[in-house]
Amino acid sequence: MSRKRIRTWLFRPFDLIAGWHAMVLGVGLIAATAAVASYAGLMTDGVLDLHFGPDLPLLTLLAQGLLNWLVLSTCLLIVGLWLSRGSFRWIDLFGTQALARWPMLAAAAYLSIPWVNAEIRQLTEDLLSKMPTDPSKVMASSAYLLDAMWLTLISLPTLILVIWMIWLMYHAFALSTDLKGLRAAFSFAGALIVAIIIVEATIFLISPDLLLAAPA
């Protein structure tokens, strides 16, 4: 496989695959993400969320992943139908949005690495325990700052992968609806925000304990 084709698969995969093929592959990746998240003790209770939390059944994590995909895709479909000047296939939008979530699988796999998993959990616990309880003490200790910097550093790959996923989602939306420029960017951002709110509200209504148990 040439370097150009590899770059296309990584950054513009929807130039090569769309429709039902993308949907089948994307749903498979969502299921694989749920399996890895179950193994690593992760939660995906938000469109862009991936964090440690209480151990959840595989089916719950799969439902979270499917909910994230379907709600965002539906919001993007509504916006696309409203703003797009031409017709487009809903299956292309839903299929490419499913495939766009593949970086979440890579992020879950990274967080499932034993030493990364243990280190992030321990650092988070230590930072919470060291947090000043006296409002007058606004200066954190040097040990606190060093731990916070190390936690940020080892969490950076996850952040990069989430940003990568957002880019793929945007590119999939713009390509499927043929929207361009600021029109595409602002409509995507608005749909994404609405989808985040809907998913959070849905999970809270179905199982509020999940959101209350999630770390801040």
- pLDDT tens column, 174-185: 999 999 999 999
pLDDT of residue 205: 85
Q: In which element (H, E) is residue 79 found?
A: helix 58-83
Q: Where are the domains of the chain?
A: 3-213
Residues in the chain: 216
pLDDT of residue 61: 93
- Token pair of 92 as six digits: 């292309």
DSSP annotation of 140: P
**Residue 137: partners with Cβ closer than 8 Å, 6 or more residues away:** none
Q: How far is CA 161 from CA 8, 118, 174, 203, in A?
A: 17, 20, 20, 24
| pTM (predicted TM-score) | 0.85
Separation of alpha carbons 170 and 52, rounded Å: 26
- Half-sphere CA count of 76, side-chain side, radius 13 A: 35
**Residue 136: partners with Cβ closer than 8 Å, 6 or more residues away:** none
- pLDDT tens column, 60-92: 999 999 999 999 999 999 999 999 877 888 999
Task: Give first-to-last CA distance, the chain, whole Å.
Answer: 43
pLDDT tens string, the chain, 216 residues long: the values are 677 777 777 777 887 888 889 999 999 999 999 999 999 999 999 999 999 988 889 999 999 999 999 999 999 999 999 998 778 889 999 999 999 999 999 999 999 999 999 999 888 887 777 666 655 555 556 667 788 888 899 999 999 999 999 999 999 999 999 999 999 999 999 999 999 999 999 988 887 555 444 543
Q: Beta 42-43 vs 51-52: how paired, if at all?
A: antiparallel
3-state secondary structure of 139: coil
For the beta carbon of residue 123, count every other beta carbon within 10 angstroms: 17
pLDDT of residue 125: 82
pLDDT of residue 165: 96
